[in-house]
Amino acid sequence: MGVTLGALAAQIGAELQGGAPDTVVHAVATLQNAGPGEISFLANKGYRRFLAQTRAAAVIVAPEHAAECPVAALVSGNPYASYARAAALIVPRPPPRSGVHPGAVLEADCEVHDSAWIGPHCIIESGVVIEAGVQLAGGCFVGTGSRIGAHSRLAANVVICHGVTIGQRVSIAPGAVIGGDGFGMANDNGRWLDVPQLGGVRIGDDAEIGANTTIDRGALEDTVLEEGVRLDNQIQVAHNVFIGAHTAIAGCVGISGSARIGRHCMIGGGAGIVGHLEIADGVIITGMTMVTKSITRPGIYSSGVPAQDNESWNRNYARFRQLDRMARRLRALELRLGSGNENN
C-alpha cells in the first residue's frame, strides 16, 4: 500500500520540503536501513548522526534538522507524533475479523455484537457484553457481567475477571489479568482471613495494558484507570488504585493499594509506589524510585541508585552504614572549632 509524500504530509501535519509530492512511499524504516520508497524519522537526537547518510525517500524531522536532511524532509513540530501517524497510514493494521470461532465457549445471556470477533478457545461467561468491533484473540477469558467497549482488542490469553468494565479502543496485551482479587486479608491471631474483594475494575477509553500486567479489583469500590492510561508489561496495580488520564507507566512498576496517581504522570520502570498516598498531576518518577509519601507538586522525583563498579560500591556502602555516626563526628568537630552553626 503506497501513499504519496504530498498526501502523507497533509495527513500527519508536516510540511514537505525538498521532495516531489507525488513520490510514493510504502514502508517505514530506520535512518540507517531505509531505502527508496521508505520513510524514516529523527526524533531522538542520539540518532542524528545517521541523518546525513540516510537513503530514505523522506525523513520526518523537526524544523531545526530540516536543513541537514539530505533527502526530502517532512518537517513537523513533533516528529515522533507525525511518525506515529505516518506509520499507521503506511502500514495499516490487519482488518478486523468478525464472528465467533466454533472453538469458543459462550455461556447463556452474554451479548456479543455481530461485528466483534471471539477467537478460538475464548470463554465468555454469562452476562458479558462485547461491543462492536471488539477483537478477542484466542484463549481469552471474560468473566461474569464484564463489558468490553467497542473496538477494544484483547491479545491471546488475556483474563478479564467478573465485573470489569473496559472502555472503547482499549488494547490489552497477552497474558494480562484484569480484576483478580486484591491482596486483602485481616490478621486473626496469626492467621490470615480473606477480606472479600467486592469492587470491580474500570478502564477508560483508549487505555493500553501491557503483557502479563495485573490489575486487581477493588475491595469495596473499583480500581480505576482513566482514559488514555498506558501501562507497560509486568506491572502490578493493587486494589483501589486510581490512575489519572494519560499517565504512562513503564515496565515492572508496582503500585500498592489505594494509591491515587494523577493525570499526565510518567513513572519509570521498576518504580514502587506505596499505598494510600496521592501523586499530583504531571509528576515524573524516574526508574526504580520508591515513592513513600504523597507528592503534591509536579516535578521529577528520584531514588533509583545508579551502578558503580562493585569495589567502589562496597566501599561507599560500608561508609553509608556509618553515616549517622559520621554526621555526629562532623558536628563534634564543628562545635569544637566553633563553626557549623546550622542546626544538625
Could you give the residue numbers annotated as active site?
239
Residues near 313 by beta carbon (within 8 Å), at least 6 away in sequence: 307
Q: Which of residues 47-76 bind a copy of itself (CB under 8 A)?
A: none
Minimum CB separation from a copy of itself for residue 115, in Å?
21
> Taking the CB of residue 4, how many other CB atoms lie within 10 A of it?
15
Alpha-carbon dihedral sign for residues 76, 77, 79, 80: negative
* Region binding a copy of itself by CB under 8 A among candidate stretches 1-9, 49-57, 63-71, 101-109: 101-109
Nearest to 210 by CA among 238, 245, 249, 182: 249
Cβ-based nearer residue to a copy of itself, 37 or 138:
138
Alpha-carbon dihedral sign for residues 79, 81, 82, 87: positive
* Region binding a copy of itself by CB under 8 A among candidate stretches 1-9, 51-59, 66-74, 98-106: 98-106
Minimum CB separation from a copy of itself for residue 225, in Å?
13
* 87 is an interface residue for a copy of itself by CB under 8 A: yes
Q: Which of residues 233-292 bind a copy of itself (CB under 8 A)?
A: 233-234, 236, 238, 246, 248, 250-252, 254, 256, 264, 269-270, 272, 274, 276, 284-292
Cβ-based nearer residue to a copy of itself, 113 or 264:
264
Cβ-based nearer residue to a copy of itself, 7 or 156:
156
Near a copy of itself by CB under 8 A: residue from 22, 64, 114, 324? 324
* 10 is an interface residue for a copy of itself by CB under 8 A: no
Q: How far apart are CA 173 and CA 208, in angstroms?
A: 8
Minimum CB separation from a copy of itself for residue 6, in Å?
22
Cβ-based nearer residue to a copy of itself, 67 or 315:
315
Task: Put residue 76 in one of left, alpha, beta given phi > 0 → left and psi -120 to 50 → alpha.
Answer: beta
* 317 is an interface residue for a copy of itself by CB under 8 A: yes
> Taking the CB of residue 220, how many other CB atoms lie within 10 A of it?
12
Near a copy of itself by CB under 8 A: residue from 163, 232, 261, 262? 232
**Radius of gyration, alpha carbons of the chain:** 26
Minimum CB separation from a copy of itself for residue 235, in Å?
8
Residues near 82 by beta carbon (within 8 Å), at least 6 away in sequence: 12, 13, 14, 41, 60, 74, 76
Amino acid of residue 72: A
Q: Which of residues 132-151 bind a copy of itself (CB under 8 A)?
A: 137-139, 141, 143
Residue with cell 501513499: 3
First to last CA, the chain: 70
Q: Are 29 and 8 in contact (CB under 8 A)?
A: no
Minimum CB separation from a copy of itself for residue 23, in Å?
20
